Chain A
Amino acid sequence: MASISGGAVELKRSQAVPVRSSLWRQAMLRLRKNKLAMSGLGFIIFMFLICFIGPLFSPYADGKIDTANMYSAPSWEHWLGTDLLGRDMMTRLLQAGRISLTVGFASMCISVLIGSILGAIAGYYRGIVDQVIMRVADLLLTIPSLPILFILGALLSEWKVPTEYRMYIVMLMLSFVGWPGLARLVRSQMLSVREREFMQAATVLGLDDRRKLFHHMLPNIIPLLIVVATLNIGGSILYESVLSFFGLGVMPPTPTWGNMIDSANNLIDFEQHPWLWIPPGAAIFTTVIAINIFGDGLRDVLDPKQKK
């Protein structure tokens, strides 16, 4: 109590009326004041827009082979040059961005869905259900993600999964390694929320399980979940790029940022034609950094315990 800033904080808290909507509004207001986080968000939106809309305005969107323009360096006609088939790299970069962003976003959604449902069930019901779910999660956390992803990627190739479906399976693969961490997080939050007084109040009021779970406990976890989910998108994009770079993820002709960098595996392209592989790498880097910065800003306003 004698802490120096403590006095003011305590007083403030006692005067704040805990109304959820106003808490959200306050958080959003504070987020809007965080310039770094807002510019991160701005960049993410910008990236989505140019990737999904940009190619519509490109004269090279059909990916037609242009033998007259093989390996041309960046120029006014081809902002990022052309590849070995004379395709415009700028257009390809944006088209690849569609896939990379979609995979990152979708696999996050699946991980969060699986992770929070299983974590919530484990944390709420405890006992044997908890044991089973958490031991499976432990098992998956025992083996680092990369080897598992590589094996799964190799499986895809062995089973000769058609390239157009690989993208969807990659999403599932990423969620497969993503959910255990989330489940653990949700479960531990559940356990701590369970112990809080208002939950005891809910029990006294005789609310049924589902109501307690979905109306009282989950809303308390959602802020943290949003933060983790945001940061998870960045991680997924990175993993997808690694997999695709090593030819174990999404494969050409479907372009992704990761498999575009694959041209660096060719010595001549690597040394002579850096415009083939540096722009996709830069795209991954800038997108992920924007996501991480935005996620961190979100954490600051939504998860007061973690606040700096």
Chain B
Amino acid sequence: MSSYLLRRLLYMVLILAAASLFIFALYALMPGDFVSGNLRLSAERKAELREIFGLNKPLLERYGTWMNQALHGNFGFSLAQQKPVVTLFNEYVWNSFLLAIVSTFFTWLIAVIIGVISAYKQYSIFDTLVMIFIFAAMSIPSFFIGLFLIKVLAVDLKWLPPGGMTTTGSNATGIAYIREVLDHMILPVVVMTLLGVDSLTRYFRSNMLDVIRQEYIRTARAKGLKERVILYRHALRNALLPAITLVGFELPGLFGGSLIIEKIFNWPGIGQLYMQSFTVRDYPLLMGFTMFIAILTVIGTLISDMLYRVADPRIKL
């Protein structure tokens, strides 16, 4: 177990080092920077700022500084927001997590229920409807469905707020505040759930189809167990097992997807922060975010692997 874990950790570090180099290289390719794009600054002031932020140093040195700071938990200073990147993250990331966790919960809930039922009733009308829904969900551009829902439900029907996390100018507190946030969450959560539910439902359905054909399910039937018990104790447990690996894989995907959704719904999370930073060329922040996602991916993969090993009695560490 320990040697396996050690090898995994070593590989994680290597891939992250490579990712950091790659990310840095991408941003280093950008000809402009925050200072050069700012028209209000004089040439002397620009040079001065460059000096301060170390923008005129050689690339390799800049990478070294960046990495060194990153290893000490400092991802640089957001030039546009005039705050350390880590502080900004801390301000915004929890809002993103809120969206991510709630929509993950619904995604899994819906996927498990629909997937199980539709596998159990394969080729029924329900199953066909589910398949059509899955195709629709996987084919719809998330930004478009977001806009469309805002237009219909918020602008035309005025049922739900069009965006943001709270109503502008509102200073509600306590229960009223929570209700307000919940109201604002509905649409982004719906779209985010829609985004993830297709592949997961499909996955559960095909997993369940696989499992209910296994011989141990026939044994369970031969034992005269109730169908409900067979389905939920014997089949679902086996179908859930490989799905556990997805928990880890989904983590970074959620933040990737949040770029679009937070932007469309004006949700104050890091995805939206990221999209804003593009227009002002706030590279330390962009690099920090991209690195953050890379770290999440690597950790997510590791978590998946570990979870699978814990959950499946057949695999020994």
* Chain A residues within CB distance 8 Å of chain B: 2-3, 135, 138-139, 141-148, 150-152, 154-155, 158-159, 234, 238, 241-242, 245-246, 248, 258, 261, 264, 270-271, 274, 277-278, 281, 284-285, 288-289, 291-293, 296, 306, 308
Contacts and interface: CB of A to CB of B under 8 A. Distances in A.
Given A138-B15, A308-B122, A281 B148 contact: yes
A144 B275 contact: no
A155 B26 contact: yes
Interface stretch (B17-25, B46-54, B96-104, B175-183): B17-25
Contacts of B274: 147, 150
Chain B CB count within 10 A is highest, among A142, A146, A159, A277, for A142
Contacts, number: 121
A285 B259 contact: no
Interface in B232-278: 252-253, 255-257, 259-260, 263, 274-275, 278
B225 interface: no
Chain B CB count within 10 A is highest, among A139, A261, A278, A306, for A139
Nearest to B263: A246
B92 to A, nearest CB: 16
A152 B22 CA distance: 12
B43 interface: no
B289 A146 contact: no
A270 B148 CA distance: 9
Given A150-B278, A154-B278, A155-B30, A296 B135 contact: yes
B106 interface: no
Given A144-B297, A292-B135, 20 more contacts: A135-B18, A139-B19, A142-B15, A143-B297, A144-B252, A147-B289, A150-B278, A159-B31, A245-B143, A246-B275, A261-B143, A261-B147, A264-B147, A264-B151, A270-B155, A277-B147, A278-B148, A288-B139, A292-B138, A308-B209
Interface string B261-304: 00100000000001100100000001001100110011000000
A39 B23 CA distance: 43
A151 B141 contact: no
A308 B205 CA distance: 9
A11 B251 CA distance: 46
Contacts of A274: 151
12 contacts: A142-B298, A146-B260, A154-B278, A158-B31, A238-B139, A241-B141, A245-B144, A246-B263, A248-B278, A261-B147, A264-B147, A284-B144
Given A144-B293, A144-B297, A261 B144 contact: yes
A220 B304 CA distance: 31
Given A139-B15, A142-B19, A158 B30 contact: yes
Interface string B203-221: 0001001000101000000
For chain B, which range describes its interface: under 10, 10 to 19, 20 to 34, or 35 or more residues? Answer: 35 or more
A229 B158 CA distance: 42
Nearest to A136: B18
Contacts of A141: 297
A152 B278 CA distance: 11
Contacts of B147: 261, 264, 270, 277, 281
A60 to B, nearest CB: 24
Contact of B256 (A147, A151, A258): A147
Contacts of A238: 139, 141
Contacts of A151: 26-27, 286, 290
Chain B CB count within 10 A is highest, among A270, A271, A308, for A308
A170 to B, nearest CB: 16
A293 B135 contact: yes
A142 B294 contact: yes
B32 interface: yes
B9 interface: no
A275 to B, nearest CB: 12
Contacts of B139: 234, 238, 285, 288-289, 291-292
B259 A147 contact: yes
B30 A143 contact: no
Contact of B141 (A138, A148, A281): A281
Given A158-B32, A274-B151, A296-B135, A143 B290 contact: yes
B136 interface: yes
Interface string B144-187: 11011001000100000000000000000000000000000000
Contacts of A246: 263, 275
A75 B136 CA distance: 29
B315 interface: no
Contacts of B18: 135, 139
A281 B22 contact: no
Given A245-B143, A289-B135, A147 B151 contact: no
